[in-house]
Structure 1
Amino acid sequence: MTADPARVIATARRWLGTPYHEQASLCGVGCDCLGLARGVWREVVGDEPFPIPPYSRDWGEMGPREVLAEGARRMMMETVPADAPPGALVLFRMVPRAIAKHVGILTGPQSFIHAYEHLGVIEQPLTPGWRRRIAFAFLFPRSGNI
């Protein structure tokens, strides 16, 4: 069972305006893109099932493993990125052939929320440039279904 998308979106919108702070996850205080997703998880699903190890900010990082996608698969239902509905968590590949390292939450067919350096948590249009970078999509589970 998946979480109510309206609840996921409303929860993510409560984070709007939160300043950017690398590897943090406190609504209104500071977060990065993964911290935003972690905070929405805690409010919608419950406790985080495992600790998140420190990670590199290098969006061009190459490697054989899609670490974020592998972690998401352990606790979320994967969906086809082109079919991802509002409320879905999307992972962006910011540099071709690099691993996916940016995270956002779809708020509509043409918009998403993410934490962006210097801007904090914002909602913005899902432009063609952003859409083509989506590499993976996942649905939040309903509380108690992980």
Structure 2
Amino acid sequence: MTDGEKIAAAAMPWLGTPHVNQARVKGIGVDCGMLLIGALEDAGLVEKGAIEIAPYSNEWHLHHSEEWFLSYVKKYCVPITEADMAIGDFLMYQFGRCVSHGGIYIGNNQIIHAVIDQGVILSDLNDVMFLDVHGKSRLRGIYRFKGVK
């Protein structure tokens, strides 16, 4: 099993977990960024607590332009092209002024992610939620986990 397959498999038991900002407790609460970390931990690719995230508001992306969320992803992942996307890769989307939403590609054109008011769900990559008001994709990058140093 590849690391990506381990990540995707580890993410699936989080389905149905409610969305709770900054939480990372399976079945109790998680947000999209913490889901990525939880899947890495559950896959055995990082030790629990090895990736530390500073406290944040669930509306930070509406008030700041710096790529805070993406800066964390880039510390532990490498960018890849859409053509090279594989199971377990992280898809990063822009909502608001910067990248502020992430999910895990699980194959078959589907992503697992945590959504406010819906919790952890599966969505098709072509879901309208991933389009802006002009019909353009909100996808701003695809990243593959490289490890924690």
TM tier, smaller: 0.7 to 0.9
Aligned to 2:30: 31
Greater fraction strand: 2
Residues 7 and 70 from structure 1, CA distance in 2 versus in 1: closer, same or farther, beyond 3 angstroms? same
Residues 79 and 67 from structure 1, CA distance in 2 versus in 1: closer, same or farther, beyond 3 angstroms? same
Q: Give the 3-state SS of the residue equivalent to 2:8 in structure 1.
A: helix
Check the 8 A contact 1:100/1:135 in 2, yes or no: yes
Pairing of 1:35-74 with structure 2 (within 5 A): 35-44=34-43, 45-47=45-47, 48-58=49-59, 59-63=61-65, 65-74=66-75
Pairing of 1:1-146 with structure 2 (within 5 A): 4-44=3-43, 45-47=45-47, 48-58=49-59, 59-63=61-65, 65-81=66-82, 83-95=84-96, 98-127=97-126, 129=128, 130=130, 132-141=137-146, 146=149
2:7 and 2:120 mapped to 1: Cα distance? 15
- Identical-pair percentage: 27
* TM-score using structure 1 length: 0.83
1:84 and 1:62 mapped to 2: Cα distance? 29
Which AA in structure 2 matches 1:136? G
* TM-score using structure 2 length: 0.81
Let me know the Cα RMSD of the aligned residues: 2.1
Q: Give the 3-state SS of the residue equivalent to 2:33 in structure 1.
A: helix
1:4 to partner: Cα distance? 2.2
Check the 8 A contact 1:81/1:135 in 2, yes or no: no
1:72 to partner: Cα distance? 1.4
Q: Give the 3-state SS of the residue equivalent to 2:37 in structure 1.
A: helix
Check the 8 A contact 1:91/1:101 in 2, yes or no: yes
Q: Deviations over 1:9-59 (max 9, x none)?
A: 111111111111111011111101111111012122112444201123224
